[in-house]
Amino acid sequence: DAKTTQPTSMDCAEGRAANLPCNHSTISGNEYVYWYRQIHSQGPQYIIHGLKNNETNEMASLIITEDRKSSTLILPHATLRDTAVYYCILGGGITGTASKLTFGTGTRLQVTL
Amino acid sequence: NAGVMQNPRHLVRRRGQEARLRCSPMKGHSHVYWYRQLPEEGLKFMVYLQKENIIDESGMPKERFSAEFPKEGPSILRIQQVVRGDSAAYFCASAPREASTDTQYFGPGTRLTVL
């Protein structure tokens, strides 16, 4: 019962922006959109999260559509070290306590020279 | 600020032995989560603990698996009488005391191999 859908894989040239889409048409009003990534065999790494406004941090930007049914993670200048599986996950209501993360299959991003 | 620590990083056990995996959360974090990643598969939630309490164990196998997070010391994931199917990477994550979102910080994992 996947709540998000992502492309299986994507390629990106080094130095270019990587735009990773995620569909979450059944998102509820108080659910956040989270992005994590897992670089080969390492523990997952938190990237960014947002509710309805666009967000930016030192790693990436998150663009959420006005209807909140989809979002895009943007890595502005991808490097080879950004090669990883990227997971889009819903969770964490505004007033809720932290809960389990449900990982789907994610998008395997390959950054190439 | 040290991150989430897990030990051992690699653990080899023979069938029928016990495996104990340890997780020290980040300083100030009182929420601990355990996830399992079978070979070539995605991460699956196992259990969520706060100090001295199991909050959600809906992902734990019914038998042989247990977890604790005592008042002092690391969280322990214990697997009794291991079988080959338990071979996997086990990741621990932690979140702050005032957690109201799902920002979790993961450790490097323990790779369990059952011979």
pLDDT digits (tens, 9 = 90+) for A62-81: 999 999 999 999 999 999 99
pLDDT for res B96: 81
B102 CA to chain A: closest CA distance, Å? 5
The C-alpha atoms of residue A36 and residue A38 are separated, in whole angstroms, by 7
CB A43 to CB B93 under 8 A?
yes
| pLDDT band, residue A2 (cuts 50/70/90) | low
pLDDT surpasses 70 at B99 = no
pLDDT for res A93: 57
User: Which of A38-42, A51-55, A107-111, B69-73 holds the top average pLDDT?
Assistant: A107-111
Nearest to B31 among A91, A98, A101 (CB): A98
pLDDT surpasses 60 at B12 = yes
- Across B87-96, average pLDDT: 94
Contacts of A106 in chain B (CB under 8 A): 42
Contacts of A27 in chain B (CB under 8 A): none
Round the average pLDDT of chain B to a whole number and report it: 92
CB B99 to CB A97 under 8 A?
yes
- Across B69-73, average pLDDT: 92
| pLDDT band, residue B1 (cuts 50/70/90) | low
SS percent in chain B: helix, strand, coil, step 5: 5, 50, 45
- Measured CA to CA in angstroms, residue B12 lies from A100, B88, B91, B115 at distances of 28, 11, 16, 7
- Across A87-97, average pLDDT: 70
CB A102 to CB B45 under 8 A?
yes
For A31, the closest chain B residue by CA position comes to B101
pLDDT digits (tens, 9 = 90+) for A5-28: 999 999 999 999 999 999 999 998
- Across B5-31, average pLDDT: 95
CB neighbours of B5 closer than 8 A, spacing ≥ 6?
B23, B24, B107
Nearest to B104 among A42, A46, A97 (CB): A46
pLDDT for res A95: 45
pLDDT surpasses 60 at B100 = no
Nearest to A49 among B35, B58, B103 (CB): B103
pLDDT surpasses 90 at B66 = yes
Read off the tokens for B115: 């011979």
Hey, is A82 helix, strand or coil?
A: helix
